[in-house]
Amino acid sequence: MIEEALKKTIRVLSLFEMLNNGEIIRKKEAAERFKVSEKTIHRDLKEINIYYSKYKYNTLVNSVAYNRVEKGYFLKVRNT
């Protein structure tokens, strides 16, 4: 159980770091990288989005959004 929790923590923090570095996250690629389902990656991205919406409201980052052209997720920046 602890090992699974550690894997999730590392996965979510890795996705968080990727987004903060301006990377586009594609669910299929991320799922293969972390050896989980695309649904799991989707849930992780939802958790990161909740973090941004509830706790990072004083930053320029608004939310995790989907880019249809790139077919992946990125950090959406507020218009200033």
Tens-place pLDDT, residues 39-80: 999 999 999 998 887 776 566 667 899 999 999 999 887 655
pLDDT at residue 19, as a whole number: 93
Higher pLDDT, 58 or 5: 5
pLDDT at residue 58, as a whole number: 60
Per the CB < 8 A criterion, the answer to whether 76 and 62 are in contact is yes
pLDDT at residue 72, as a whole number: 97
pLDDT at residue 59, as a whole number: 60
Domains annotated for the chain, with CATH where assigned, are 1-78 (1.10.10.10)
| Helix ranges restricted to H, the chain | 2-20, 27-34, 38-55
Mean pLDDT within 9-30: 95
What type of residue sits at position 60? L
